[in-house]
Amino acid sequence: MNEIFSFKRYSMLLTKELKERKIIILKMAGIVSIIVLGIWLTSILLRGGSGVSPSFRFSMMIMILVVTMIATPFNLYKSYNHPKKGIDYALLPTSVYEKYFSMLTIVVIITPITILATLMLTDFVLSIITPSVFNGFAFSGKIDEISFSSIYDVLIVQWAFIFGNFLFKKSKITKTISLGIGIYLVIGLILASTVKSLVFGQVDNSVNFSMEINNLSDLLANNSDDEANKIRLLLYTTKAIVYYIIPIGCLGGTLLKMKKQQYY
Per-block mean pLDDT, blocks of 10 residues, the chain (264 long): 81 94 95 91 73 87 94 91 75 88 96 96 91 85 82 95 92 92 88 70 45 50 63 82 93 92 67
Long-range contacts of 26-32, Cβ-Cβ distance < 8 Å, separation of 24 or more? 28/68, 28/71, 28/72, 28/75, 28/111, 28/114, 28/115, 29/114, 29/115, 29/118, 30/118, 32/61, 32/64, 32/65, 32/68, 32/115, 32/118, 32/119, 32/122
CB-CB contact of 230 with 142 (8 Å) = no
Say what the pLDDT of residue 5 is. Answer: 87
Residues 168 and 206 in one domain: yes
Look at residue 213 in the predicted model and tell me its pLDDT.
44
- Compute and round to an integer the Cα radius of gyration of the chain: 24
- The pTM of the full predicted model, rounded to 2 decimals, is 0.84
- Please tell me whether residues 154 and 261 are part of one structural domain: yes
Q: What is the pLDDT of residue 69?
A: 95
Q: Which residues contact 99 (CB under 8 A, 6 or more apart)?
A: 13, 89, 92, 258
DSSP conformation class of 143:
G
Q: For residues 128 and 158, state if they share a domain.
A: no
| 35 vs 16: CA distance, rounded Å | 30
**Backbone dihedral region of 82: left (phi > 0), alpha (psi from -120 to 50 degrees) or beta?**
beta
Q: Of 146, 175, 194, at which residue does a domain stop?
A: 146
Q: 113 and 243 in one domain?
A: no
Q: Which amino acid is at 182?
A: G
Q: Same structural domain for residues 100 and 157?
A: no
170 and 52 inside one domain: no
Residues 139 and 195 in one domain: no
Domain count, the chain: 2
Query: Same domain, yes or no, for 2 and 20?
Result: yes
Count of alpha carbons within 13 angstroms of residue 175, beta-carbon side: 12
Helix (H) or strand (E) holding 155: helix 148-167
Say whether both 167 and 100 belong to one domain.
no
pLDDT of residue 11: 95
Which residue, of 130, 146, 162, is where some domain finishes?
146
Residues 118 and 215 in one domain: no
* Shared-domain flag, residues 45 and 153: no
pLDDT value, residue 176: 93
Do 96 and 27 fall within a single domain?
A: yes
Residue range of the domain that includes 79? 1-146
Of 146, 172, 202, the position where a domain reaches its end is: 146
